[in-house]
Copies of this chain bind each other. A is one copy, B any other.
């Protein structure tokens, strides 16, 4: 297992086409670097918390690159990511890589799985940073893929050594800073739509891939270099991944025109990502609880019990969310070669996690006061004429300097006014999507049976 620094070094060799606001940028760009920092941390934390054993290379690997084999390993994954969520206060970006590895290990056919494991050996040996993307641009939702092929990642040419693919994945967190990007199907397909039933891995060397970074307010702040509440790791930075006639050798093509494997990998990915999402959100809430607690202290309000109780409410939501993910892991099962969480609990975790996330945001907004919104820039505190005055009026509790209080307020503001809400709600699909899954997964007979027995 390498260090974060080694990962950073390795990145330098890659020449990816990354666009921000219409211009090509490098890994040092202020909207790109936070993602690199976050991914680097996933390496450093593995040094601290350890890895898990992989049969493939007969050695320890970062859990995010592992084929999960047991309940304990799955819980360890959740523990690892929960720690990342709390320390980074943002996405760790490799989560989807782990979901991809495991949903492929679960859902592929034998041939595909064999290829996967060969490929994984290299990934694990080199400790490569992996991500995954699923959602096609989809265009007009009332049309089938074949009516608007350009809206789907698809095979445009089949060659002796591999395939050529075109299309775009529209929402992917941090792809531009990963080393392996798994491209998976974003939906199931019907007979006759086999050209879209494809899953493969991209490497930094592949030609024809461009990444277009999202642009929300928080990124604009980052570009200015001040007032970004989470200065080192930033918010969840996503991008559009455009593939323009990209050649992929057969060794990295895991699904090819296989509708069954497509459906299985998709469903396993959804379950996997929805479940870990509860663990991840648990510690986003923990980060909010910490921010709230510090804000109260900085305001001199830490002894107001009705406010502390509201922090405790966030804590309760956080602990419950993490507990759900453990429960779902315990009730999980072996599918194919991977141990995956219980499907119905995983979807329930998603719905519960989002609900708790929105509640926590409401509480944090209420008890933090308006300072996170109305606070001036860090630069104002240094400005002639107003700086000294601002420092006076921003001083509250004696235990915090005005600068420290402002930083806390900016961090609260980061939680409430960056694009995190979206990420948390939509990662792994919307809550509405999880509810639809639940409707299909629920065995209504199981629920009715004891009632019938009681009434008979």
Are A439 and B396 in contact (CB-based, < 8 A)? no
Q: Is the interface of A mostly helix, strand, loop or mixed?
A: helix
Chain B min CB distance to A413 (Å): 6
Which one of A5-13, A118-126, A189-197, A217-225 is at the B interface? Answer: A217-225
A181 an interface residue at 8 Å Cβ cutoff?
no
Q: Which residues from B are CB-within-8-Å of A244?
A: 389
Residue among A143, A330, A372, A376 facing the most chain B CB atoms (10 A cut-off):
A376
| A86-B450, A362-B358 given; A327·B323 CB < 8 A | yes
* Binary B-proximity of A260-304 (CB < 8 A = 1, otherwise 0): 000000000000000000000000001101110110000111010
CA distance A21 to B380 in the complex (A): 5
A369, B324: Cβ atoms closer than 8 Å: no
* Cα(A165)–Cα(B163), bound, Å: 74
The closest CB in chain B to the CB of A341 belongs to B323
Segment from A61-69, A100-108, A250-258, A426-434 that makes contact with B: A426-434
Give the interface segment out of A49-57, A133-141, A199-207: A133-141
A213 at the interface (CB under 8 A from B): yes
In the complex, A338 has a CB within 8 A of chain B: no
Question: Known: A217-B218, A294-B452. Is A303-B142 also a contact (CB below 8 A)?
Answer: yes
Query: Chain B nearest CB: distance from A374 CB in Å?
Result: 4
Interface 1/0 per residue, A309-337 and B, CB below 8 Å = 10111011111101111111011000000
CB distance from A438 to the nearest CB of B (A): 4
In angstroms, Cα B210 to Cα A383, docked, is: 12
Considering only CB atoms and an 8 Å cut-off, how many residues of chain A contact the other chain? 156
Nearest opposing residue in chain B for A314, CB measure? B447
Chain A, residues 385-400, CB within 8 Å of chain B (1/0): the string is: 1110110111111100
**Is the pair B417, A351 in contact by a Cβ cutoff of 8 Å?**
no
Query: For residue A138, which residues in chain B have a CB less than 8 angstroms away from its CB?
Result: 396
State whether the Cβ of A115 lies closer than 8 Å to any Cβ in chain B.
no
Q: Does A73 contact B (CB under 8 A)?
A: no
Kindly list chain B residues whose C-beta atoms are within 8 Å of the C-beta of A390.
Answer: 212, 240, 242
**Any B CB within 8 A of the CB of A187:** no
CB closest chain-B residue, reference A173: B374
Q: Does A15 contact B (CB under 8 A)?
A: no
Judge whether B19 and A312 touch: CB under 8 Å: no
Say yes or no: B141 contacts A300, CB within 8 Å: yes
Provide the residues of chain B in CB contact with A213, threshold 8 Å.
Answer: 376
User: A residues 340-357 with Cβ under 8 Å of B?
Assistant: 342, 344-345, 347-349, 351-352
The reply to whether B217 and A418 form a contact with Cβ atoms under 8 Å apart is yes
Q: A75-B330, A137-B394, A362-B358 are in contact. Are A422 and B214 (CB under 8 A)?
A: no
* Chain B residues closer than 8 Å to A313, beta-carbon distance: 351, 435, 438
Residue A371 at the chain B interface, CB threshold 8 Å: yes
CB distance from A437 to the nearest CB of B (A): 9
Q: Which chain B residues lie closer than 8 Å to A39 at the CB level?
A: none
Q: A291 to chain B: closest CB distance in Å? A: 5
Contact of A218 with B417 in the complex, beta carbons under 8 Å: yes
Of B137, B324, B327, B413, the residue contacting A216 (CB under 8 A) is B413
Q: What residue of chain B has the Cβ atom nearest to residue A392's Cβ?
A: B150
Q: Is the CB of B316 within 8 A of A170?
A: no
Additional 11 contacts, C-beta under 8 A, given A242-B393, A317-B348: A19-B376, A22-B380, A151-B393, A210-B389, A214-B375, A240-B390, A242-B386, A315-B348, A315-B442, A411-B451, A417-B422
